[in-house]
Amino acid sequence: MAMNFLMTVFLLIFSTVSVAQPTQVETREPPKFSPAKEHKPIAKPKAYQRVAILSILLKYEKGEVVGAELMHSKRVASVAPKVFVRKMGDWQVTIGNNQKASFFVNDPGFLEAENRPGDKIPYHYVSRGNEVEWNLIVPLYKDGEALDAPTVTIKRVKDGKMILHTKI
């Protein structure tokens, strides 16, 4: 066990040293991982780090969304998923009246299904039916600050159709 420990520490220290390479392949230093003394527990959510968990019932006809209803919502302390990096998509979700606090999602009415092994096309889309329960996680903070988020608005991008505007 002690030998394993020493070997591990040695290799981890060594792993942070870049080594000259004889080939032309570009090299990069690996990220610094703190496995030993410096290892710290994951930070607990700060006071501003909260999300709203929305349960939305969507209604579809012929593959088009025709209705949406917020079934319930809950605010919890949590780090948020990085949804703000998604700059385009089928639907736009806007938090409060802040156009900068918006992100994009795919149409929840469809699943991406694997095709048969051997097919040249990897996937196809499958309708989830006329009623779809959709769980949407909405960040209640951005750039280290809490968002004023009394409402959420969801619009379809291609035509601006209002899908849902609701208090949360």
Partner 1 sequence: MRQSYFIYSVFFLCVALGTSACTLNVDVSEDDEPVSGSSIYELFVIQRDMDDAFNILFVPDASYGNLSNLANRQAFVDDLTNAIENSYWQNQGYYFNLGRYNYYYSLDPGSVVERSPDADGNFRCPTVTWPTSINTDGAFADATILIHTNELRDCATPSTGRATAEPTSYRTIVHETSHALFGLPDEYCCDSSYSANEPVLYGSEAACLNDPVTAAWRNCVSFTSARNGSVWWRSEGDITSSAIMLSAGNTVWEFGPADWEIMEEAYLSFPGASSAGTPTVFAPDNWDRP
Of 127-156, binders to partner 1 (CB under 8 A) are 134-137, 144
Reading the block at residue 123, the tokens are 């996937």
On whether the CB atoms of residues 81 and 97 are closer than 8 A, the answer is no
| Single residue of 100, 124, 161, 165 touching partner 1 by CB under 8 A | 124
Q: Which of 13, 69, 71, 89 binds partner 1 (CB under 8 A)?
A: 89
DSSP-based three-state secondary structure for 83: helix
67 binds partner 1 (CB under 8 A): no
Handedness of CA 43, 44, 47, 51 (dihedral sign): positive
* Cα–Cα distance, 106 to 88 (Å, whole number): 9
Among 3, 61, 114, 167, binds partner 1 (CB under 8 A): 114
* Stretch binding partner 1 (CB under 8 A), from 65-73, 110-118, 145-153, 160-168: 110-118
From the CB of 7, what's the least distance to partner 1, in Å?
Answer: 9
Q: Select 120 or 167, whichever has its Cβ closest to partner 1.
A: 120
21-50 binders of partner 1 (CB under 8 A): 21, 23, 25-37, 39-43, 49
Identify which range of 65-73, 98-106, 147-155, 159-167 contacts partner 1 by CB under 8 A. 98-106
Q: Which of 1, 3, 99, 160 binds partner 1 (CB under 8 A)?
A: 1
Residue 45 one-letter amino acid: P
Distance between CA atoms of residues 116 and 13, nearest Å: 46
How many Cβ atoms are within 10 Å of 72's Cβ, its own excluded? 8
First and final CA of the chain: distance in angstroms? 53
Give CA–CA dist 138/42, Å, rounded. Answer: 22
CB of 127 to partner 1, least distance (A): 10
